[in-house]
Amino acid sequence: MSEQIVHPDVAPLLQVLREQAGQLTIQVRFHDVGTVQRISESAATLPGLPRVQPDTASLLQLLRQQAGQMASRMRFHDIGIVQRVGNGVATLSGLHRARTDELLTFPTGVQGLILNLDHDFIDVILLGPDEDIRGGDLVMATGERLRVPVGHKLLGRVVNPLGEPLDERGAVDATEFRYLESDAPGIIERAPVDKPLQTGLKIVDALVPVGRGQRELIVGDRQTGKTTLAVDAILNQRDSGVLCVYVAIGQKKSSTLAVIETLRREGALPYTTVVTSSPDDPPALRYLAPYAGCTMAEFLMHQGRDVLIVYDDLSKHADAYRELSLLLRRPPGREAYPGDIFYLHARLLERACKLAPPLSPPLRGAPPLSPPLGGAPPLSPPLGGAPPLSPPLGGMKGGAGGGSLTALPIAGTQRGNIVAYIPTNLICATDMRIVLDSDLFNRGVKPAVNVGQSVSRVGGASQTAAMRDVAGKLRLELAQFEEMARFARFGIEVDEATQHQIRRGEHLRAVLTQPAHQPLSLASQVVVLLAATEGYLDDVALEDVPAFEGELLARFEAEHAGLCHQINSTGELSEETREILMTLIANYRTAWLKGKKG
């Protein structure tokens, strides 16, 4: 039996639904008619507002007057056209009034920096990603150069080479913006380097001391502790008043994060600015990173502060510049580096110096300067009210003067070849070098400083008197030890004096070994080096030297804090203080050896 489809009568159903809906509306609408009535009566008693009629004629007249006062202007913008783009660089046509280092704006908002000016084309390095930039896009010139934020508020922050924050702590509160490139201070504006910058590392402060305003190169193979040495120098500035800038150039993000975490854990991040550019960034940012960090450090120097800047490392910076130069079709030279690779680093490191203090004003009542000989007229003022050619002595850019900028550039080598192209250039552009040896590192000597190849051109002038006193013959004894140990390796029989000299050298090498991220104060270094150079460690077993040193320093800090404070504050070691230290060390050694035998 087939089913029958029943069609309902739609019209009656709709009629019933309308009637029910109307009844509901009436119930809701007229539930409280009295209240609505009272509101309507009250509103009717209010006085009516006058209707505003706009004066159309007056408005039209005013618009005509203002339109007549407007001057017609025509604006011209220098426009270029993208011809090629890729790998972080772009080639443009047009822009006939463009200048080197001028900023350009692409349609995507990314900015570019002009690096090459050709007759028909312009080569630009991109400061951002090159996605969505196509051939034929219009590019607008800005007429401005690249500037980065500077100021004390950048301390404790992590930024990229453009000054943009990377630490998720909000925008950077900059004091001002400064150009990335600036001239290095002249000779007259500089002062001699005569104040040490303590690194907290015994082997560095004793043998290759760093002065405030110097440029000290740290060079060695990969994985030999170059970054650790520089970070330890930053950690040791916690109570010295020295501000720091750490520039990571092409370093792995994991390595940079490890350095930032170390600075934060040791309490060094509040006085340090971190400028980072990773391998994932465009080559332009890796190229600009050290100049951005130097500009931020220079501002602090011009405020009269002592600043330490670490470039980690300039070998990767040279590689980034080589990459850009090859993409820009510049002629390659030795090892495919461009011809101006030396100038790349020389103009950067030349900005590190110690500024002379500002000149004192003339004494009140002093006689005026004598007139020119022969009645010659005075010099005419500069034309057009131009400022004088020479900047004020001791304080460029209106700074307080007297500050310093110490640079610790890092360079990598291959198999210890320090005479390679880039290391040789950096050695020529710096005052001194610290050479790290992979063989020493593998033998457990850390920091793995090769004393024979490490050189300081300032030397004792940048040491305190106390350190100069205890470390005067340390280098000679280490050099003699290396010479004697080389002969002893061949099985040659040596006399008792030579054997004693070899044992003394082994103890000196053990004393100069120091754990990472544990910098020592000046007093602690003086105590340990005095004990080593005076022979108080000769009877201590070589494997017990670290324990002896640790307990000796703990004893001095606990029982002779006043003596340590005196050495740290004055930096001097008088004969009386020296005798007291030697007596205390001798007594402690006797007790130590007696405890070992018992």
Look-up: residue for tokens 């280098």?
475
505 phi and psi, to 5 degrees? Answer: -65, -40
Radius of gyration, CA atoms only, the chain: 37
Residue 525 CA to chain centroid, in angstroms?
A: 28
Whose CA is closest to 488, among 477, 475, 502, 476?
502
How many whole angstroms separate alpha carbon 412 and alpha carbon 390? 39
Q: Is the dihedral of CA 185, 186, 188, 193 positive or negative?
A: positive
Count other C-beta atoms under 10 Å from residue 500's C-beta: 13
Look-up: residue for tokens 């050896």?
593
| Neighbour-count burial of 392, counting CB atoms closer than 10 A to its CB (0-12 exposed, 13-18 middle, 19+ buried) | middle
Would strands 89-94 and 121-126 be described as parallel, antiparallel, or unpaired? antiparallel
**Core vs surface per residue 506-536: b (16+ CB within 10 A) or e:** bbbbbbbbbeeeebbbbbbbbbbbbbbbeeb
Q: Which residues are catalytically annotated?
A: 457
- DSSP class of residue 354 equals B
> What's the CA dihedral at 163, 166, 168, 169 to 10 degrees?
-40
How many whole angstroms separate alpha carbon 419 and alpha carbon 541? 39
| Neighbour-count burial of 156, counting CB atoms closer than 10 A to its CB (0-12 exposed, 13-18 middle, 19+ buried) | middle
Q: Which phi-psi region, left, alpha or beta, contains residue 29 (left: φ > 0; alpha: ψ -120 to 50)?
A: alpha
How many whole angstroms separate alpha carbon 343 and alpha carbon 341? 5
CB 473, CB 460: distance < 8 Å: no
How many whole angstroms separate alpha carbon 84 and alpha carbon 503? 67
Whose CA is closest to 175, among 161, 146, 145, 155?
155
How many whole angstroms separate alpha carbon 167 and alpha carbon 159? 7
| Neighbour-count burial of 369, counting CB atoms closer than 10 A to its CB (0-12 exposed, 13-18 middle, 19+ buried) | exposed
18 SS3 class: helix
Whole-Å CA distances, 270 to 3, 22, 246, 301, 311: 87, 74, 12, 17, 19
How many whole angstroms separate alpha carbon 219 and alpha carbon 585? 36
- DSSP class of residue 109 equals S
